[in-house]
Amino acid sequence: MAIALALGVQLVQLTLVLVLAPLLTGLVRKLKAHLVGRQGPPLLQPYRELARLLRKDVVLAESASWLFRAAPYLIFATTWVAAALVPTFAAGLVFGYAADVIAIVALLGAARFVLALAGLDVGTSFGGIGSSREMMIASLAEPAMLMVVFTVALLAGSTQLSSIAAFMQGAGVGLRVSLAMALVALVMVALAENARIPVDNPATHLELTMVHEAMILEYSGRHLAMIELASFVKLLLYVSIIACVFAPWGIAVSGQGLAAYLAGLAAYAGKLALCGFLLAVFETAIAKMRVFRVSDFLGAALMLGVLATLLLFVSRVA
Amino acid sequence: MIAPLALDIAHLFAGGLVLVSFMLLYQDRMTGLINTFALHALVVSLSVAWQAYIQHAPHLYITAAIALGIKAMVIPIALHRIIVRLGIHRTIEPVVGIGLTMLAGIGLIALSIMVMLPITAQAGTLAREDLSFALSVILLGLLMMISRRNAVSQVIGFLSIENGLILAATGAKGMPLVVEISVAFSILVALIVIGIFLFRIRERFETVDIHRLHEHRGEQP
């Protein structure tokens, strides 16, 4: 019975992340447009874009290999599995016992590796630039992410996201400077990983500044739809990790009734809306930085992560 | 016994001080550097005031007030004036190898924690973390003094070391008031002397870039 319940929660979660991810992106776009005094596209525009792309034919470059065609599905699959591992509205997911937060980082790293290869595959110079910049960003963002994971895992005594969420809800956490640093570092990493504004501009096709868009320039049709959906899911995934680790209130634990699950869903929707709003405000308020400044930005994130881990050893023993 | 929350807040301030020390290493603009130093002094005075509250040591409030008045207000304002009169308030100082400096800073913090925690095993929790954070702040100040070329930045590195010393003294059940006041005044006198020196260096060599002095000593730059 318990396994059936956990399986059910897992299935709901799998569909939920897929359904909500375009909505979150649509919300951020809408809010950003409103903040600069525009009308903005409707909230459901990302769904329409995906539907349109799925209907269209694929145009393949002559030099494209099998890797180019397989990459969108691999990227989407790994990102989706990673998103299914984060407790969003309920803890106790079936997959959650098989994979911890380090596995999530590894899955995202695999997706990025495949994407960079696909960017190089066709042999255009933009794809190459995009891939090399993506790798430069990743080489700093991934260690920073792992340091944040270590900080939280050392505190909670576990790398399972469900246990971390349970620990964070308990009274033993207190006020910790390490957690504040880890939160700032995680937000910086999330901004870089999702190609948001200080690092990359998600709305532009201006060649000299783009990173993510440069890699997927050659994609079209259903391939592009898969990659776009994967990037929507990735944004949702990072928001969910931040919400799950630093604001785990309202997450239903297995064994509670239907009402708890519904409350968890409502709390999750509220957290998503709040994070989307904050992201839109932040992106409107700040300017994009030069590509060569990105290493400073992410170096600061890495430094915060290392500092957070180091300061843990001085703090009181929980 | 001190309540866990009170200890956490003390930890927050002391950890914040280490973080601001890192921000000092990171700043490359003169005005930003001086403002960050004012923040450094503000955090140290908050930290001392909080520890005065939880240790029930009223004389520490005076230490906090001195730190707030002299180091968070008088010295930054004086430094702002000095850099305006020296005409270097708009210069961007080339920080050599910011990544390497950061890595060295992280290494120094790890070192000070590894050194301090074993040898203070018998002391109270508050004293232990104060001492290890204070040693980190002192080492970061020294790192700043050796990694910067501009004389004003080196002065700020020197002043941040003094903030670290105050933190260390606070953890060790406070220091006598006479010592604290004399230290505060000697810092002020040091600032005046350093200020005069800066002008003399500038008059003599038309720059406050320390590397130019090596040539006059007969060393190769």
pTM (predicted TM-score):
0.87
Q: Do A307 and B98 touch (CB under 8 A)?
A: no
Give the bridge partners for A256, in sequence order: A254
Q: Do B106 and A303 touch (CB under 8 A)?
A: yes
Q: Do B19 and A295 touch (CB under 8 A)?
A: no
Domain ranges of chain B: 4-216
Residue B92: strand, helix, or coil: strand
Residue-level pLDDT at B95: 62
**Backbone φ, ψ for residue A86 (5° rounding):** -90, 125
Full pLDDT tens readout for chain A, 318 residues? 678 888 888 888 899 999 999 999 999 999 999 999 999 899 999 999 999 999 999 999 888 899 999 999 999 999 999 998 888 888 877 777 778 899 999 999 999 999 999 999 988 888 888 899 999 999 999 999 999 999 999 988 888 888 888 888 877 677 788 888 999 999 999 999 998 888 887 777 666 677 888 888 889 999 999 999 999 999 999 999 999 999 888 888 766 778 888 888 999 999 999 999 999 999 999 888 888 888 888 888 998 999 899 888 876 554
Give kind and range of the element (H or E) at residue A102: helix A101-121
Q: Do A311 and B9 touch (CB under 8 A)?
A: no
Residue B150: strand, helix, or coil: strand
Nearest-neighbour CA in chain B from A312: distance (Å): 10
- Model confidence over A93-115: pLDDT tens digits? 777 777 889 999 999 999 999 99
CB contact B26 to A (< 8 Å): yes
Q: Do B106 and A299 touch (CB under 8 A)?
A: no
Instruction: Note whether A94 and A10 are within 8 A (CB).
Output: yes
Q: Do B102 and A299 touch (CB under 8 A)?
A: yes
Helices B177-205/B59-66 angle, 10° precision = 10
Instruction: Note whether B18 and A307 are within 8 A (CB).
Output: yes
ipTM of the complex model = 0.76
Instruction: Note whether A215 and A116 are within 8 A (CB).
Output: yes
Q: Do A314 and B11 touch (CB under 8 A)?
A: yes
Nearest-neighbour CA in chain B from A208: distance (Å): 25
Q: Do B117 and A175 touch (CB under 8 A)?
A: no
Which residues from chain A sit within 8 angstroms of residue B109, using beta carbons? 307, 310
Residue-level pLDDT at B38: 94
Residue-level pLDDT at B216: 67
Query: What is the C-alpha to C-alpha distance for residues B119 and B158, in angstroms, rounded to an integer?
Result: 26
Instruction: Suggest the residue from A184, A304, A311 to mutate for an interface test with chain B (most B CBs closer than 10 A).
Output: A311
Low-confidence ranges of chain B (pLDDT < 70): 1-2, 92-97, 172-178, 212-221
> What tokens does B36 get?
């960050």
C-beta neighbour count of B126 within 10 angstroms: 22
Residue in A174, A295, A311 closest to B15 by CB? A311
- Model confidence over A78-91: pLDDT tens digits? 999 999 888 888 88
Mean of per-residue pLDDT scores for chain A: 88
Instruction: Suggest the residue from B11, B17, B29, B129 to mutate for an interface test with chain A (most A CBs closer than 10 A).
Output: B11
Query: What is the C-alpha to C-alpha distance for residues A21 and A31, in angstroms, rounded to an integer?
Result: 16
Radius of gyration of chain B (CA): 18
Q: Do B15 and A316 touch (CB under 8 A)?
A: no
Residues of A with CB under 8 A from a CB of B: 174-178, 180-181, 295-296, 299-300, 303-304, 306-307, 310-311, 313-316
C-beta neighbour count of B5 within 10 angstroms: 11
